[in-house]
Amino acid sequence: MAKVEVYSGSYCPYCVRAKELLTRKGVSFTEYEVDKDMDLREQMMKRAPGYKTIPQIFINDQYVGGCDDLYALDRAGKLDGMLAHG
The pTM of this model reads 0.94
Residue-level pLDDT at 78: 96
- Given this structure, which CATH class describes domain 4-84? alpha beta
Q: How far apart are CA 45 and CA 56, in angstroms?
A: 9
Contact 21, 73 (CB under 8 A): no
Closest listed residue to residue 83, CA positions, set 3, 9, 24: 3
The answer to whether 21 and 74 have CB atoms below 8 angstroms apart is: yes
| Cβ–Cβ < 8 Å for 20, 71 | no
For the segment 9-34, the average pLDDT, to the nearest whole number, is: 96
pLDDT over 90 at 1, yes or no: no
Q: Where are the domains of the chain?
A: 4-84
